[in-house]
Structure 1
Amino acid sequence: MPVVSLEGEVADLSLVEVLARAEKLSTLACATPGEGVALIEYLLAICFASQTLPSSPEEWRVRVAEEHPLDDVTEWLTSEPADDWDLFHPERPLGQNSQLAHQLDENGTGPAQLVLERAGDYCQFFDHHHLEHAEPLPAAAAFRALLSQHVYGLAGRARVSGKSLGATLTNLAAGRLQGRIRVVVQGRTLGDTLRLNLYPAAGGRTGHFNRSWTSAENPRRGFRTKPVGRATSGPADLHSYLGRSVLLRPVPAAPGEPVHVDRVLIGAGELLALDPERDLEDAVPSTITLNGHRKPLWPSPTRALWREAHALYSAATQETTGLFGRLRHLRFPDDGDGPPCMLWAVGLIANKTVAATWTEGHFPYAPSQGEALCEASRRGSAIADYLARALERSAYAAWKVAYPNPKPADRAAQMARFDARREFWPAAKGPFLLLLDETARGSDVPTVLRDYAGDLRSSAADFLRHRLDALPHDSKGLLARARAEHRFRADLADAKAPAELREER
């Protein structure tokens, strides 16, 4: 069954075909960053299940450097019984729960509910019309959406009756990656990406692969009472866990025509008790502790992910275990063709039980430039933050003159007229990523930081000037403009300003 789309190609590929062509594929085409992460998770689970993994950090470095082939993974998957990988098997549907079959007709919805970004809170709108819309979804797209639900599904309450399987079936738990940033190290090919993200299994136990709800090597949760989370049996189990109890109904297809899904049913899934030392290989530690462990970096609705790049680079230079602990000791040949890999960070931002948007960042990484990247990203973020605060203070200075007797309720809207941060932050992303790219290629950090700071300073001044153009050309308007521009120049000349901003270009 086709499950993966390729950029530039119309046809989809099966899992076997993807793995067989992993050394030639540079990327996979996915509708969202979360879907891409979920697919990488699944491919990693297959690698672990086939026992294609390093036994130690030293072997990991050798496998990455020598581009250890993934032929064993393809051979293992090819030798597996076809029934175990059948998305529509009557008893053991891949990644699903066939026990929901008797409820599908009564409680099922249109396939829109399967797509995380379209499903709302799974019960959205009074009449559920959007969920009942029955436009079929191609099976390949349904499979990728299914993986996204398993990994990123939000907490809430699904449209499932609890009469037969228990009321707790309708209570959805948050997915394993919901609420934190997932970091995938991307190589130049899919094969490189898989090798970079495979890791030694604790105790040498890879665990079982979760093919379906009813072909379980370990007992699945029931739905009469809420059970405690179970410990994972190994990385194959972790990366393939069934975060949702789901069932898909296929539309009968004519010979040679692709299969579609026209009905889905979604209920609660497995609950995991994650071990921070074993199950959070890629997590970027924050400064906040939770139950004695540092909380992983989480997505922010107000702060773009590129502004947190220094947290990733700090982990890559300071951590001694996990993904970042191994990555810092890796050595790539200097082929002069740019950074050898990228740190792809992805998070889901949600408004309670409703998916809001995806946040992601691609950050170049070269282990030999780890300290330089850490310094450039930290200083670059500080420079951007300082300029943003200077723009805010300048807006306040203009507002104080333009509105001498404001109503408190009007302040926010009035200040927004002069606040250039809305234009500044999107414009700052490009120069920041260029700063990182030049640093990863070996450029002198102080030099590229000065250039970066000069570019941001010029653009910030332009954005402020354009905002102040809204002022009337009378005495009050001219005074407000003069106060705002003076405030901006004074902030950049202040001793507390980053040194790069105090330097005139």
Structure 2
Amino acid sequence: MAWDGRRPEVRHLGLVELLRGAEGFAALVGSTPGEEIAVLEYLLAILYAAGHAPVDADEWQHWVEERHPLAPAADWLAGQPDDHWDLFHPERPLGQNALLAPFMAEHGVGTAQLVIERAGDYNQFFDKVHLHDPEPMRPDAAFRAMLAQHAYGLGGRAMAKADWLGPQLTYQAVGRLGTRVRVVATGPTLGDTLRLNLAPCERKPTGEARTGTFNHSWTDGRAGRRTFRARKVSRQPDGPADLHSFLGRSILLRPVLVDGEVMVDRVLQAAGELLDPLLPMYLQDAVLEKTRTDGKVLPLRPSEDRALWREAHAVYAATATASQDLTKGADLYDRLARLLDRRVDLVAVGLISRQATATAWVSGTFPYVPGEEDRLKEAADEGLAICEYAAKALYTAAAAARDAAYPNPKPADKTRLLKRFHAEPELWAGAADHFFALMSEVSRGTRPGDGPLANFGTEIRLLTKSVLKDRLSSLTPNGRGMNARAQAEQRLRKRLTGPTCPAYLKEPPRA
């Protein structure tokens, strides 16, 4: 689906039409942020497969600044054999594994298992409602859900039997993007977004781009496709077309006619291909950070405990580092630094999960202007530091309220009682909009210290007081309750006027 940026409705388009009209659509629209990323990945794979990609950073810059047309890729796709792109081909179904066909009639389950957010535990030990759900799914929705599974599918055992294709068929690996935050540079149109994220390819001796192999299906004749009878075998992609169309799942969809319309009514899903640890050339967008446990440098991961905007400082750190060297063209951020006087938005998307169950999609949009990297990083760093200090101040205020309200609690109850007065969750939830407003103002050219950070600090200070007041409102209006409220407010005031309080957050002196 695509949105033209003007009308409220969306349009359902085929891949050829989507590429032909890419300059007229503002963005892709999916049921989840992950689905939108998965479809964008697939469009990038098609561009690479068509050989329509820049071969170095200079050519990439020219393509972006001159809005190089994408029509040649659409023409290439329109000229492809229809059976290569047939979602229901009996031998080579697009994006699927036809080897599962003999088991569909007996073992096929409801289409809800195809949707990451609905499937839960893939083995369905606890919730088997959808196994017999008769509700069919539109083919376009099933196709997009399948792409999301290839990219983001969670680990765990599949509802597949070892005697089908081999014992390894039942063990699903986490998808290529399932463990990290994917960052996409977006422009005013879908065409701009595709060009921004179309990383340059190596050049063949003939001068053409070395794009790699497109994965049409599991049975498309590609040599070296994984089998499931031996040990797990992984491989490196042979190019970006292979990377972006990688079959991270064995999936098969069953078509059925419903009132004369083709629908999908049953699904089989099992283990797919495996990737080796990716080379840096295949991690163009990765925001690298040191892990808190062993100090390894890994791509940024989504966290259940930290909203994605709280990692904005890491995203801006990547752009600030890239801007210091405009010659290597090594990754997305190096190339973006070349685009002077042009704003783009960095959209970060991740999937939070608990074991084999999806918890939530998280996403954030961070404005970026080449040449303003240091200011944006300063604002993100200072903004986060202000919020983290406010959160600690709320903790000490909550502890003061607890100690005054419950002078002699049982040791086992102290944590629970603290949570009653600790307003940190409300602080983080309320601070998000203020943070995005801060970054937006700085992206328009205002120096962080010329007003944006001071305004942000004031808003966070008022928010901190407000959320604490709300938490303390549950105290009884007797002497102990009034004392607990006074102790908490005094502790907060002390923290907000203390020497370690960030300057922009600090409470001004009383007149």
Deviation of 1:473 (Å):
2.3
Residue 17 of structure 1 corresponds to 17
Residue 206 of structure 2 corresponds to none
Alignment partner of 1:342 is 2:351: no
Deviation of 1:264 (Å):
0.4
Q: Is the 8 A contact 1:23 1:190 kept in 2?
A: yes
Residue 216 of structure 2 corresponds to 211
Quote the Cα distance in structure 2 between the aligned partners of 1:485 and 1:254: 66
Quote the Cα distance in structure 2 between the aligned partners of 1:78 and 1:475: 78
Quote the Cα distance in structure 1 between the aligned partners of 2:443 and 2:358: 34
Deviation of 1:169 (Å):
0.5
Residue 86 of structure 1 corresponds to 86
Alignment partner of 1:300 is 2:309: no
Residue 426 of structure 2 corresponds to 423
Residue 239 of structure 1 corresponds to 244
Residue 404 of structure 2 corresponds to 401
Deviation of 1:307 (Å):
0.5
Quote the Cα distance in structure 1 between the aligned partners of 2:280 and 2:73: 27
Residues 256-310 of structure 1 deviation map (CA, whole Å, 9 limit, x = unaligned): x3x2100000010001113332211110010239999720000101000000101
Q: Is the 8 A contact 2:2 2:25 kept in 1?
A: no
Task: Name the aligned partner's letter for residue 164 of structure 1.
Answer: W
Residue 330 of structure 1 corresponds to 339
Deviation of 1:200 (Å):
1.1
Task: Name the aligned partner's letter for residue 108 of structure 2.
Answer: G
Summarize the Cα distance change of 1:294–1:190 in structure 2 as closer, same or farther, 3 Å threshold. same
Deviation of 1:218 (Å):
2.9
Summarize the Cα distance change of 1:384–1:23 in structure 2 as closer, same or farther, 3 Å threshold. same
TM-score computed with the length of structure 2 as normaliser: 0.93
Residue 196 of structure 1 corresponds to 196
Summarize the Cα distance change of 1:127–1:502 in structure 2 as closer, same or farther, 3 Å threshold. closer
Deviating more after overlay: 318-327 vs 79-88: 318-327
Residue 43 of structure 2 corresponds to 43
Deviating more after overlay: 286-295 vs 167-176: 286-295
Alignment partner of 1:72 is 2:72: yes
Q: Is the 8 A contact 1:316 1:328 kept in 2?
A: yes
Task: Name the aligned partner's letter for residue 477 of structure 2.
Answer: H
Summarize the Cα distance change of 1:57–1:23 in structure 2 as closer, same or farther, 3 Å threshold. same
User: SS in structure 2 opposite 1:185?
Assistant: strand
Summarize the Cα distance change of 1:450–1:478 in structure 2 as closer, same or farther, 3 Å threshold. same
Residue 124 of structure 1 corresponds to 124
Deviation of 1:242 (Å):
0.3
Residue 392 of structure 1 corresponds to 395
Residues 298-349 of structure 1 deviation map (CA, whole Å, 9 limit, x = unaligned): 010100000010100100110353111211222245xxxxxx2110001111
Deviation of 1:5 (Å):
5.1
Quote the Cα distance in structure 2 between the aligned partners of 1:494 and 1:341: 39
Q: Is the 8 A contact 1:137 1:260 kept in 2?
A: yes
Quote the Cα distance in structure 2 between the aligned partners of 1:318 and 1:169: 43
Task: Name the aligned partner's letter for residue 93 of structure 2.
Answer: P
Task: Name the aligned partner's letter for residue 210 of structure 1.
Answer: N
User: SS in structure 1 opposite 2:483?
Assistant: helix
Residue 337 of structure 1 corresponds to none
Residue 504 of structure 1 corresponds to 508
Residues 393-430 of structure 1 deviation map (CA, whole Å, 9 limit, x = unaligned): 10001101100111222223322221111221111000
Residues 407-458 of structure 1 deviation map (CA, whole Å, 9 limit, x = unaligned): 2222233222211112211110000000000000011211100000001101
Task: Pick from 249, 254, 257 the counterpart of residue 249 of structure 1.
Answer: 254
Task: Name the aligned partner's letter for residue 94 of structure 1.
Answer: L
Task: Pick from 218, 240, 263 the counterpart of residue 266 of structure 2.
Answer: 263
Deviation of 1:129 (Å):
3.0
Quote the Cα distance in structure 2 between the aligned partners of 1:164 and 1:245: 12
Alignment partner of 1:225 is 2:230: yes
Residue 436 of structure 2 corresponds to 433
Residue 476 of structure 1 corresponds to 480
Residues 203-262 of structure 1 deviation map (CA, whole Å, 9 limit, x = unaligned): 54210100001004332100102332111100000000000001000112555x3x2100
Summarize the Cα distance change of 1:332–1:290 in structure 2 as closer, same or farther, 3 Å threshold. farther
> Percent of aligned positions with the same letter in both sequences?
48
Task: Pick from 463, 466, 472 the counterpart of residue 462 of structure 1.
Answer: 466
Deviation of 1:124 (Å):
2.0
Deviating more after overlay: 415-424 vs 444-453: 415-424
Task: Name the aligned partner's letter for residue 181 of structure 1.
Answer: V
Task: Name the aligned partner's letter for residue 348 of structure 1.
Answer: L
User: SS in structure 1 opposite 2:500?
Assistant: coil
Task: Pick from 312, 315, 336 the counterpart of residue 312 of structure 1.
Answer: 315
Quote the Cα distance in structure 2 between the aligned partners of 1:89 and 1:179: 32
Superposed counterparts of 1:358-373, under 5 Å: 358-373=361-376
Residue 27 of structure 1 corresponds to 27
Alignment partner of 1:288 is 2:297: no
Give ranges in structure 2 of 5+ residues lacking alignment: 204-208
Q: Is the 8 A contact 1:139 1:261 kept in 2?
A: yes
Task: Name the aligned partner's letter for residue 21 of structure 1.
Answer: G
Quote the Cα distance in structure 1 between the aligned partners of 2:418 and 2:483: 16
Residue 491 of structure 2 corresponds to 487
User: SS in structure 1 opposite 2:346?
Assistant: strand
Quote the Cα distance in structure 2 between the aligned partners of 1:426 and 1:113: 32
Alignment partner of 1:169 is 2:178: no
Quote the Cα distance in structure 1 between the aligned partners of 2:51 and 2:293: 33
Task: Name the aligned partner's letter for residue 302 of structure 1.
Answer: D
User: SS in structure 1 opposite 2:163?
Assistant: coil
Quote the Cα distance in structure 1 between the aligned partners of 2:506 and 2:429: 23
Quote the Cα distance in structure 2 between the aligned partners of 1:441 and 1:328: 16
Q: Is the 8 A contact 1:376 1:435 kept in 2?
A: yes
Quote the Cα distance in structure 2 between the aligned partners of 1:73 and 1:290: 45
Q: Is the 8 A contact 1:364 1:436 kept in 2?
A: yes
Deviation of 1:44 (Å):
0.5
Q: Is the 8 A contact 2:168 2:232 kept in 1?
A: no
Deviating more after overlay: 304-313 vs 273-282: 273-282
Quote the Cα distance in structure 2 between the aligned partners of 1:459 and 1:295: 34
Residue 336 of structure 1 corresponds to none
Quote the Cα distance in structure 2 between the aligned partners of 1:476 and 1:288: 44
Q: Is the 8 A contact 1:6 1:12 kept in 2?
A: no
Residue 113 of structure 1 corresponds to 113
Deviating more after overlay: 277-286 vs 323-332: 323-332
Quote the Cα distance in structure 1 between the aligned partners of 2:482 and 2:213: 71
Q: CA RMSD in A?
A: 1.8
User: SS in structure 2 opposite 1:12?
Assistant: coil
Quote the Cα distance in structure 2 between the aligned partners of 1:292 and 1:199: 29
Task: Name the aligned partner's letter for residue 445 of structure 1.
Answer: P
Count of matched residue positions in the alignment of Structure 1 and Structure 2: 494
Residue 143 of structure 2 corresponds to 143
Task: Name the aligned partner's letter for residue 502 of structure 1.
Answer: K
User: SS in structure 2 opposite 1:233?
Assistant: coil
